[in-house]
Amino acid sequence: MSPETPIRPDTKVMPRAEVVEGKLNLVGLTRDRLRAALLSAGTPEKQAKMRTRQVWSWIYQKGVRDFEDMTNLAKPYRALLAEHFEVRVPEVMTRQISTDGTRKYLVRVAGGHEVEIVYIPETDRGTLCISSQVGCTLNCSFCHTGTQKLVRNLTAAEIIGQVMVARDDLGEWPEPGHNPNVEGRLLSNIVLMGMGEPLYNFDAVRDAMKIAMDPEGISLSRRRITLSTSGVVPEIARAGEEIGCMIAISFHATTDEVRDKLVPINKKWNIKALLDGLRAYPRLSNSERITFEYVMLKGVNDSDEDARRLVRLIKGIPAKINLIPFNPWPGAPYERSSGNRIHAFAEIIHKAGYSSPIRRPRGEDIMAACGQLKSATERVRNISRSI
């Protein structure tokens, strides 16, 4: 990215609610907006509260998409709903399963755009990595998504819809009478670490994550949701207040000179501004540590001196440092640090008292690892450009 290129939030690129062929999609509406929608279709005021709960529960607790299947609603009311509304989630175009069990879905959203979703099964959890935008306005030089221009923000429906289609595929909508809060869920965690900068699509991300946390629906604890940001400082505290989920910071460098190149948003909010912002973060505590993501790039940010500087910089912030071996993509200008280098780096951080897990790349054979995501929309565009 050239220094002149403005870094801009693209919040105006998408309408808040989706209306297709005159039918409003109920997915992604907050409870208040769902209630307003039901009232506007003629639901009597006296019944509105109960109907909102019922419809909410059908959509998010039971995973039902067809109003006909909402069997505790009177038939004429089901017909009324079907006349005005739809329950629509992104369409799954392809599903790939890696040799390590990681699943990558390519889903199509309105306008024919495509985004990728990755499901990562582990022994103690199952994490779904979802996207917040088609492409990204930021141009982090090591990130595949960063080579694609922002196409548009995703709506709340498209964001929570990614969770819903993954639950469909995992067969994880509870049977009637089944308690959805039981442990051992296949999809137990959500990370906003797919395509896009979630804090540049704040309202839709907030509404979608509120739905994911709602106890009468998907019901994931706020501690099981992690939002990763490249460092949109003013929005970080807001995420703590309005979403309450865990925060991960794409840190990646210990000097402004290097961070300006890797994460260009650093030119707007530099390392000091970012760390000052984090120190003021309302939810900071030892039990709610901030995750610092640090991609290991050979000869760029992986020296012992970098590790020591990192420890000095974050002093006083309850933190965990997640070391991510760089995942290559075609044409990438970087290489992954060696295993020995990564371990030496981790050791320095560990000795300073921080947890420093090394993230094991998952789903590499299907290009599903961090930073490898880039939608087929873009690939198709590139192909047509070259012919």
- The H or E element that residue 296 is part of is strand 290-296
What is the chain's percent helix, strand, coil content, to nearest 5? 40, 20, 45
* List 116, 158, 197, 235, catalytic entry: 116
116 catalytic, yes or no?
Answer: yes
Give the angle subtended at the CA of 335 by the CAs of 329 and 336, to the nearest 5°.
100
Which of the listed partners (ligand SF4, ligand SAH, none) does 326 bind, with a CB threshold of 5 to 8 Å by partner kind? ligand SAH
Q: Are 209 and 132 in contact (CB under 8 A)?
A: no
Minimum CB distance to ligand SAH, residue 202 (Å): 13
The whole-angstrom separation of Cα 60 and Cα 54 is 10
Minimum CB distance to ligand SF4, residue 150 (Å): 9
Q: What is the dihedral of CA 235, 236, 242, 247, to 10 degrees?
A: 140
Burial track 208-220 (b if 16+ CB lie within 10 A, e otherwise) = bbbbbbbeebbbb
Residues in a beta bridge with 117: 105
Which of the listed partners (ligand SAH, ligand SF4, none) does 189 bind, with a CB threshold of 5 to 8 Å by partner kind? none
Minimum CB distance to ligand SAH, residue 171 (Å): 28
The single residue listed with the structure tokens 């949701």 is 225
The whole-angstrom separation of Cα 170 and Cα 378 is 28
CB-based closest residue to ligand SAH: 371
245 catalytic, yes or no?
Answer: no
Q: State the residues that interact with ligand SF4 by CB under 6 A.
A: 136, 138-140, 143, 145-146, 195-197, 230, 250
User: Cβ closer to ligand SAH: 59 or 236?
Assistant: 236
User: Cβ closer to ligand SF4: 7 or 208?
Assistant: 7
Which of the listed partners (ligand SAH, ligand SF4, none) does 193 bind, with a CB threshold of 5 to 8 Å by partner kind? ligand SAH
In angstroms and rounded to an integer, the radius of gyration of the C-alpha atoms of the chain is 21
User: Cβ closer to ligand SAH: 326 or 354?
Assistant: 326
Relative to beta strand 91-97, strand 113-121 is unpaired
Q: State the residues that interact with ligand SAH by CB under 6 A.
A: 142-143, 193, 196-197, 228-230, 250, 293, 295, 324, 326-327, 370-371
Hey, what are 260's tokens?
């300006």
Minimum CB distance to ligand SF4, residue 200 (Å): 8
User: Cβ closer to ligand SAH: 81 or 143?
Assistant: 143
User: Cβ closer to ligand SAH: 295 or 310?
Assistant: 295
In 143-289, beta strands by DSSP E: 152-153, 189-192, 225-229, 246-250
User: Cβ closer to ligand SAH: 142 or 281?
Assistant: 142
Which of the listed partners (ligand SAH, ligand SF4, none) does 281 bind, with a CB threshold of 5 to 8 Å by partner kind? none
Q: Is 364 helix (H, G, I), strand (E, B) or coil?
A: helix
Catalytic residues: 116, 370
